[in-house]
Amino acid sequence: VNNNLTNLKYSSRQRALIARISRSLEKSKKAYHTFDKLRNEPANFDVMKEIIPIWMMSLEDASRILPLQEKMFDYVILDEASQCNIAYAIPIMYRAEKIVLFGDSEQMRDDSIRFKSNMMLQTLAKKFGIPEHLQIKALGDTVQSIMDIGYQTGFLSKPLTYHYRSPKEIIGFSNKYFYTPKRKQLKIINNKYLPYKDTNRVLVNHILPPHKELDISGKTNKSEAEYICRLIDELKNNPQTQGKSIGVLSFFSDQATLLREMIEDKNIKVSVIEGIQGDE
């Protein structure tokens, strides 16, 4: 920050504020104490926005750090809006002149809203005196996400149909069962992937005979873990896949623990689904 003060032309007020924030952050390992003080003086953020016009943070951090000031940003962009916690998202929208939502209504919902029925919401609205035009209404039996609320409120929408990341064998499943029935089929344009051996496929089923006598728990499968270890060695020794990073995903935490114990290479990431989501 101090280097930037030297190179950029700031007003004396801006310089003084940045210097004070810099000193506060240097003194305390708990930076949130500094931001808590700043939040109580919204004028400080007006100066900081002149210096840093774009802020990127989680919903939780935004609610904790930013003052609850109407239209303090020209635009607020919510990424993965279908999974955003509505209780955090609505105050963030209050801080925006305009709101832009990015997301996919066919993906997983935020757990905090997934089971909120219309009857429950109507009861809450009556209890707290929420007027009709401000009430959350669901198209079906339950509220789905902040994206669906925006859609019902009349937000303009633009579908993005190109899928860049997953090969057709993976996203093709979602296309068949989720997107195509709702006339939202994605166009798959990723062809830069490495097939397994000579199968010309990236998804291959490996059928293993059960050997339950090897297991000391009903929650693990040792023969499967041994096979995965051999598969890892095969990938490491194959000229096509040598040097590639490897991740192992298990749906069960006990099996993931067993795999971590058996896989010698600690650079290989072994995780349950929550710990690997997005890493692809």
Torsion sign, CA atoms 86, 92, 98, 102 = negative
Strand partners, 270: 248
Task: State pLDDT tens for residues 171-185.
Answer: 888 899 988 888 888
Amino acid of residue 152: Q
- Please report which confidence band the pLDDT of residue 5 belongs to, taking 50, 70 and 90 as the band edges: very low
Cα gap 203→195, rounded to integer Å = 8
Cα dist. 206→17, 191, 228 in Å?
61, 23, 10
For the entire predicted model, the pTM comes to 0.66
Strand ranges (E), the chain: 73-78, 96-101, 162-163, 187-188, 247-250, 269-272
Task: State pLDDT tens for residues 47-81.
Answer: 778 878 899 998 988 888 888 889 999 999 999 88
Residue in 202, 250, 204, 203 with CA at minimum distance from that of residue 224:
250
